[in-house]
Structure 1
Amino acid sequence: MKIINKHLWKNIFSWMLPIGLIIIWYLVTSFGGTKLRFPTPQAVVVRGIGMLKTGELQSYILVSTQRALLGFLLGGVIGFLLGLITGLSVKANILLNTTIQMFRNIPVLAIIPLAIAWFGVGERLKIYLVAFGTFFPIYANTFHGIQSVDKDLLEMGKVYGLSKGSIFRRIIFPSALSSVLVGVRLSLGIMWLVLIAAETVATDAGIGYMAMTARGLFQMDKVVLSIVLYAILGKISDVIAVGLESTFLRWRK
């Protein structure tokens, strides 16, 4: 019972700041909204309900979510596999790691003109940009997790006669999993940040498109609604990442 109450209070305190910001938003816009040219929370909610009734909002969310997940899966799988290879193989580490670390410091916005020239302005561009952004956190954390495995455990596995496959399954992968999941959590956050930039490039659907068209028509309530949607989707992604950590790392407790 005490554990449940402690968990409940923890959740309540975690939402106090967001609720406080909404209250401040309401007070500021209610007394100075005209001068600030910023919509009230009520206006944003009304806009959202109206778009839900027409089905427009669901369509935008679905398109953006599909782009984000496809890009995350593409970048995440490649990043995880390369992280494994460079972490386990000294030769692959020497050959690949330095180059990948150099590419890691390239901003996503810097490669947009080149990506447009290569892939055009269709759906592939958005997916590849998200993949580029999500690749590096998963790669770096997978590589770091494998490199950080306790060498004494590896020696113990060899002493007990474990095969290389068994050593990987029973020692290396469980030891590195915590770091890998940190990379997944970071990538899920970066996924939405990159998608925002990607959806500003010649698109006709998605939350980014909604924000761009609303900005052109000076519909500030719609612009703020798109920001709120990105924040909510980012929070949902973080909750999923925490759930994965709780599930797969339960043994740590």
Structure 2
Amino acid sequence: MFKSEKAKRFALGSLIPVAVLLVWQLASTLEWISPQLFPSPVSIFRNFYEIIISGELMHHLGISVMRAMLGFVIGGGSGLLIGLFVGLFKRSEQLLDPSIQMLRTVPLLAVTPLFILWFGFGELSKVLLISMGAFFPLYVNAFLGVRNVDAKLFDVARVLEFSRLHQVTKVILPGAMPNILLGVRLSLSTSWLCLVVAELMGADQGIGYLIQDARAYMRTEIVFVGIFIFAIVGKLTDSLVRILETKLLKWQDSYRG
């Protein structure tokens, strides 16, 4: 029953992408669209297969994943810790939150030239740009998660004479977990978006570089391959967090449609 339910969900989720690919292939076959601008899915998958076999894709993908994960760990981890800290202490909120919220409204593209000037085109500027993007979703959701914990639970914790550490581990973190996991999902997706910006602004390795190089030589199939890779890896990371949600939030009795 469980397997059939999962298969049904997978089939439903695949309907729109498969339909789009079929219509796209039909339009390419009937020459309704330019093969230079919109190569057929068959042509794209052929190029996809070729760069997998050559090892080129795995090389660039490994570097991109490393950059995105390193930026996510640094930025997301900092956002989580500072968000919890600001949520726990009112004085820290008054001191830190206005400045962080002001920085949050600054578009990443606006600070990209500064990152290039300060840190050059090397790995440091790319990782820091990704870290900056990953920081804010986790900060905001960790902060909101702490503030959304029922105040009555704190009263119970005080009656039971919980230490501050026990309050955090037994009351605050479980109560804030839905928001924190939402922050992780948003932070991961932002990391991938920032990775694209970081690699397009000047890189000699990575999926973004692969796309930029293919664009320069009018290899539109490879551009689409790069876009599909970003979409697939982004979806996989999002699915992993959703699996984590089902494990950690079993206690939730929320409406599921």
* Interval of TM-score (by shorter of Structure 1 and Structure 2): over 0.9
The residue type equivalent to 2:181 in the other structure is L
Higher share in helix: 1
The number of aligned residues is 252
Tell me, yes or no, if structure 1 residue 77 matches structure 2 residue 81. Answer: no
- Alignment map for 1:1-253 (pairs within 5 Å): 1=1, 3-31=2-30, 32-34=32-34, 37-252=37-252
C-alpha separation in 2, matches of 1:249 and 1:45: 38
Instruction: Give structure 2 stretches of 5+ with no counterpart.
Output: none
Q: CA deviation digits over 1:28-54, x for unaligned, max 9?
A: 222224377311111111111111121
> Is contact 2:36-2:220 (8 Å) kept?
no
For 2:163 and 2:132, the matched residues in 1 are separated by 35
Question: How big is the shift at 1:132?
Answer: 0.5
Cα distance in 2 for partners of 1:61, 1:121 equals 19
8 Å CA contact 1:121–1:202 kept in 2: the answer is: yes
> C-alpha distance in 1, partners of 2:21/2:238?
21
1:117-144 deviations in Å (ceiling 9; x for gaps): 1111101111111101010000000000
**How far apart, in 2, do the equivalents of 1:116 and 1:38 lie?**
33
1:244 Cα offset (Å): 1.4
Q: For 1:136, what is the secondary structure of its paired residue?
A: helix
Alignment-mate amino acid for residue 176 of structure 2: A
Counting aligned pairs with the same residue, the percent is 35
The worse-fitting range, judged by mean Cα deviation, of 28-37 and 78-87 is: 28-37
Q: Cα offset for 1:158?
A: 0.9
Distance in 2 (CA, whole Å) between partners of 1:35 and 1:117 is 39
Q: SS where residue 200 of structure 2 aligns?
A: coil
TM-score, normalized by length of structure 2?
A: 0.94
Q: Which moved more, 1:32-41 or 1:214-223?
A: 32-41
Partner Cα separation in structure 1 for residue 29 and residue 109 of structure 2? 37
Q: State the alpha-carbon separation in 2 of the partners of residues 71 and 10 from structure 1.
A: 32
- Could you tell me which amino acid in structure 1 is paired with residue 99 of structure 2? T
- CA shift for structure 1 position 4: 3.9
User: Any stretches of 5+ residues in structure 1 without a counterpart?
Assistant: none
Distance of 2:34 and 2:142 partners within structure 1: 50
Query: 1:174–1:41: structure 2 CA closer, same or farther, 3 Å change rule?
Result: same
Distance in 2 (alpha carbons) for counterparts of 1:162 and 1:201: 51
CA apart distance, 1:73: 0.4
